[in-house]
Structure 1
Amino acid sequence: MTAQKHLKQRIRARMAKTGERYAAARRYILRTAVPTPHDSSARWHMPGNVAATTALRVLLAHAGVRAPHTGEPFSEAMLFGIAGGIGIGVFSFYYQREDIATFYVAGRHQWHDDLAYLRDALAGFAIEPVVMETGGASTAARQLTELLDQHGPCIAWVDMAKLHHRALPSDWSGSAYHIITVYSINPAAGTALIGDLADQPIVITLDDLARARARIVKQRHRLLTLAPADPQIDLAELVRRGLQRCYQGLIEPSLTQAPNNARLAVLRTWAERMYGSQEKDRWERIFQPGANLWRGLNAIHGYIEHYGTGGGLCRPLFADFLTEAAAVLQAPALAALGQQYAALGRSWSELADAALPDHVAAMRATKQLHVRRTELLHSGDATAELQAIEHEITSLAQAAGEHFPLPEAGCTALRAQLAQRIHALHDAEVAAHAALGQAIA
């Protein structure tokens, strides 16, 4: 576990030296930090970027699984690639009765199903997951105790809006799908020690944990841990399978409902709806200036940069995997492809930045608050300040709903600029995907 008191300073120093965004600097520092165990239930806690990959990394480290090429726990980037790497998902919804429009963009392979994602990743290691589900709260509490006693740390499916330390608005509750690692519980103190991407383990109340596990009913208080195993790891084969899974997932996604929304062509559709389309789902119609356009622009920024991607819609993390995979397979073409995806990550971050342009004071302020919020979440011990930031973000959103900070012509110009960027991203993603196909042929 990287020492908290040093991690923050190293990230800040990296930002000052390179001019990188916070997410990029943190990715670099986490990539170069060597995890070391501490004598506690969270002895292999590791900070991370993507929730499912980080949780899997922690469980494998606790189980004694090591990367053959380093002798250390697997890097997050390597596990991210082995599990299928990147994906795509673009959705917008309009609720006419309430006049509410929402937007979502995802960048991880199998982003819609964490359980399938983890099962498939573990299958490559020949490790069976132990999964428990129940509809009852008392049984859920007992199952958690049993898994921790018998197997050690486990992954819990939660609604992140019910986790007090995240300080999210109440209207997120019911749809804030998330997973965390539970290291231990202390019934006498009424607390649990968890991992949630932050730089150090976090203590939460058992009541908070129970509410978070119960809120999304269809998840049935799900828990996952690892059955005992002694895997014989063929790293080259794991890497090849991950590359193939990534390539195929962008052609034939496992999403059964609206699969076209999980293929790269959806980026072209999104660009057309952003500007120039006459379809009923065009942004001009459903994301009109006011609360809806404000929500949509903030969603573009947030889902690309801040909500469990590590920035750049997971593309930089995939680039790191390709660089590591190139050494494992002795395939220079993968290293070159890594540079291509690193550039894609920068382009995605530029889109996120452009969605809240700096020349509009309210948008610049909101963007800065999002960055500060992410920094504080990673520190893991700043709930009061996070609540204050969320209040500021909400106040800016309310003001934008009443008087949008851009005139009509400015909104049209912004949508045109974003559409141009999305068209370019589509073309670059298609080219990178074709290069990936050539590399694994």
Structure 2
Amino acid sequence: MTHYEAALLRRVLGEELSEAMWFGLGGGIGFMYFVFEYSGEPPHLSIIAQAHPEPMVARALDRAGVQHEIRHTGSAKVAERNLRAALGAGHRVVCRVDRHRLPWRPDFPFPEPIDVDVLGLDGDRVRLGDGDLPLEAFLDAWSAAKKERHQLIEITGTGGGRPDVAGAVKETAARLTGPVLGNNFDVNFGLSGMRKLADQLGDTSTKQGWTRRFTDAEVALGRLAACLDVEYTAPAASRPLFAEFLAEVGGGCRCPDLSGVGGNLGGCGECGAGRGVLPAHR
């Protein structure tokens, strides 16, 4: 049950904390629903079923008490110098790049950021946790994440004390039930976003309904499956993984005993994963 960012953190920092724990500390489950429409392009469905928009890696490190520094720069030369210095100091490094500039990722006309663990530099090649690529190609992907250009997280220490699981759980609940961005787009987040998706799925009369918006139902449902099982999530919209987190922390986070909630949530994930809605796309 691999979740990308949680698995990355466990790979970088070792196995003291479980993947479920890293996922929960990073913000856990969430929900964002948009359909983007561009001239000359088919509608693009985007559902993010995890904490969003705050990046999970930095948040999880904060909650776990792991010492780290975050650097940004507009200069590719300075960024490369920062990278070499961090690796030269023997520190673990996570960089934010445009996922579609990585050679093993599919092309996409718009940038989408992703965190990658940088293992080392061998001459003009960069070693990442997912594969190697030329330094020039890495710098291109690193420069393309416009809002977080050349972001580098340098992990300078290890965790100390107990992770802040209570703060993580409260933040997850607040994000699902209250404002996220503080503007009109909040209707697309949390429980409100789920209701909007349900309404548009059942809408057969207006142009916002899926029957009119998506002319190819197979493509739309295939994209829905990818959003709920693969992209920015763990399988079954990350609900079973978050259930593991709740069961693991139990009543030890200064919250009510959450183990029963975790069991219920895990059951919901199994129910959703077992539906026959998308049999051809799973």
TM-score of the superposition, structure 1-length normalised? Answer: 0.58
Is the CA contact 1:51–1:178 (under 8 Å) kept in the aligned structure 2? no
Between structures 1 and 2, the one with greater helix share: 1
Structural mapping, 1:337-416, within 5 Å? 337-350=261-274, 354-355=277-278, 357=279, 364=280, 367=281
Please give the alpha-carbon distance, in whole angstroms, between the structure 2 residues aligned to 1:137 and 1:84: 31
Please give the alpha-carbon distance, in whole angstroms, between the structure 1 residues aligned to 2:143 and 2:125: 17
Say which is worse superposed, 134-143 or 242-251, in terms of deviation: 134-143
Change (3 A) 1:133 1:330: closer
Q: Is 1:175 the equivalent of 2:111?
A: yes
Q: Is 1:261 the equivalent of 2:200?
A: no
What is the match of residue 76 of structure 2? 137
- Number of aligned residue pairs: give it: 281
What is the match of residue 54 of structure 1? 7
What is the match of residue 389 of structure 1? none
- Deviation string, structure 1 residues 16-70 (Cα, Å, up to 9, x no partner): xxxxxxxxxxx2xxxxxxxxxxxxxxxxxxxxx2333233334444xxxxxxxxx
- How big is the alpha-carbon RMSD for the aligned residues of Structure 1 and Structure 2? 2.6
Change (3 A) 1:174 1:215: farther
What is the match of residue 161 of structure 2? 233
Please give the alpha-carbon distance, in whole angstroms, between the structure 2 residues aligned to 1:307 and 1:74: 23
Opposite residue 169 of structure 2, the aligned amino acid is L
Q: Is 1:296 the equivalent of 2:225?
A: no
Q: CA deviation at 1:162?
A: 1.6
Change (3 A) 1:329 1:244: closer
Is the CA contact 1:304–1:312 (under 8 Å) kept in the aligned structure 2? yes
Structural mapping, 1:148-297, within 5 Å? 148-150=87-89, 152-166=91-105, 168=106, 170=107, 172-187=108-123, 190-196=124-130, 202-228=131-157, 231-235=159-163, 238-257=164-183, 258-276=185-203, 278-289=205-216, 293-297=217-221
Q: CA deviation at 1:119?
A: 3.8
Is the CA contact 1:59–1:225 (under 8 Å) kept in the aligned structure 2? no
Please give the alpha-carbon distance, in whole angstroms, between the structure 2 residues aligned to 1:85 and 1:313: 11
SS at match of 1:124: helix
Structural mapping, 1:79-94, within 5 Å? 79-94=22-37
Change (3 A) 1:118 1:306: closer
TM-score of the superposition, structure 2-length normalised? Answer: 0.87
Between structures 1 and 2, the one with greater strand share: 2
What is the match of residue 260 of structure 2? 336
Structural mapping, 1:85-124, within 5 Å? 85-95=28-38, 97-98=39-40, 100-109=42-51, 111-114=52-55, 117-124=56-63
Change (3 A) 1:88 1:101: same
Runs of 4+ in structure 1 off by over 6 angstroms are none
Please give the alpha-carbon distance, in whole angstroms, between the structure 1 residues aligned to 2:109 and 2:137: 13
Q: Structure 1 stretches of 5 or more lacking a match?
A: 1-26, 28-48, 62-71, 197-201, 358-363, 369-441
Please give the alpha-carbon distance, in whole angstroms, between the structure 1 residues aligned to 2:148 and 2:255: 41
Please give the alpha-carbon distance, in whole angstroms, between the structure 1 residues aligned to 2:260 and 2:65: 31
Q: Which has the higher contact order (CA 8 A, sep 6+)?
A: 2
Percent of aligned pairs with the same amino acid? 23
Opposite residue 113 of structure 1, the aligned amino acid is E
What is the match of residue 36 of structure 1? none
Please give the alpha-carbon distance, in whole angstroms, between the structure 1 residues aligned to 2:230 and 2:64: 30
Is the CA contact 1:88–1:263 (under 8 Å) kept in the aligned structure 2? yes
Change (3 A) 1:333 1:124: closer
Please give the alpha-carbon distance, in whole angstroms, between the structure 2 residues aligned to 1:177 and 1:122: 18
